[in-house]
Structures are given as C-alpha cells and as structure tokens.
Amino acid sequence: AIKAYDPENIFAKILRGDIPCNKVFEDDHVLAFHDIAPQAPTHILVIPKGSYTSYDDFAENASDAEIVAYTRAIGKISAAAGVVEDGYRLIANTRDHGRQDVPHLHVHIIGGTKLGLMLP
Ligand code: 5GP
C-alpha cells in the first residue's frame, strides 16, 4: 500500500522552519532551496508547500493553482539558475524503486556541467 504523508519528513521540517535551508525561491505554493549534498554545480530542490508525497499524489490531489504555481516555478528557477541554454535535468525520484529518500514531493534541478548517463 502507498504510505500516508509523514509530517516528520525533513522537508516538512524545513517548511515549518524547524530546520534551515539555503533558499532560492518562495511563493504561496512553492519553496526551492539548494540541495545539502549537491551532485553538480547547480543542484536545487523545488517542493510544493502542500503535503504531497510524490508527483502522482500531487497530480491527483493538488489544486489547479498549486499545479500551475509549481510547474511554472520549476521553469523560472531553472532559468534564474542559468542552466536553460546549456541544458539540465529534472528528476523526481519516487518511492522504493525510484530510490526516493525524502517522502515529500521534490523535483531536483541539476545542471551546470555535462551530466553523466544515469539510467537505470
Ligand atoms: P531523493 O533521493 O529523496 O530524491 O533526494 C533527497 C535529496 O534531499 C538528496 O539529494 C539530499 O542531498 C537532499 N537533502 C536531504 N536532507 C536535506 C536537508 O536537510 N537539506 C537540504 N537542503 N537537502 C537535503
């Protein structure tokens, strides 16, 4: 069965202000911050403020306003990070097979260098 949202996950704590983050962007629906263990020169995590475990949960349960805000924010943050012209990678690791560590939806924006191949 798919697990319920865990309000003690680390990104929930960041959203509550219980632990700090290096913030890149924030609006009513979205928070973005630098990954604590960057895998490339640009490594930003973009999360919705709502309590969604995964992209599938978000797509099914978020409001249209949240979905628009999140989708546009990922594009704007990528552009502001300066990775759009040379290219970059968006990743949303999901659950066990996707090797998701933090069970709050997050899209990784990774770029700033030519990335390696990574599938599977
Ligand atoms: P996942 O495997 O769930 O897609 O990736 C979780 C990401 O969150 C990892 O890249 C990890 O480095 C990052 N991360 C884990 N804990 C923290 C934290 O406390 N602060 C920040 N900024 N990033 C974190």
Q: CA 25 from chain center: how many Å?
A: 12
74 lines ligand 1 (CB under 6 A): no
Lookup: tokens for 38? 């960057």
Domains and CATH numbers, the chain: 10-111 (3.30.428.10)
Look up tokens 């490594």; give the residue.
43
Q: Is the ipTM of this complex over 0.90?
A: yes
For residue range 46-91, list pLDDT tens digits in order: 999 999 999 999 999 999 999 999 999 999 999 999 999 999 999 9
Report yes or no on whether pTM surpasses 0.90. yes
User: Residue 1 Cα, ligand 1 centroid: separation in angstroms?
Assistant: 24
20 lines ligand 1 (CB under 6 A): no
Q: How far apart are CA 76 and CA 91, in angstroms?
A: 16
Q: What's the Cα-to-Cα distance from 25 to each of 69, 82, 85, rounded to whole Å?
A: 12, 14, 20
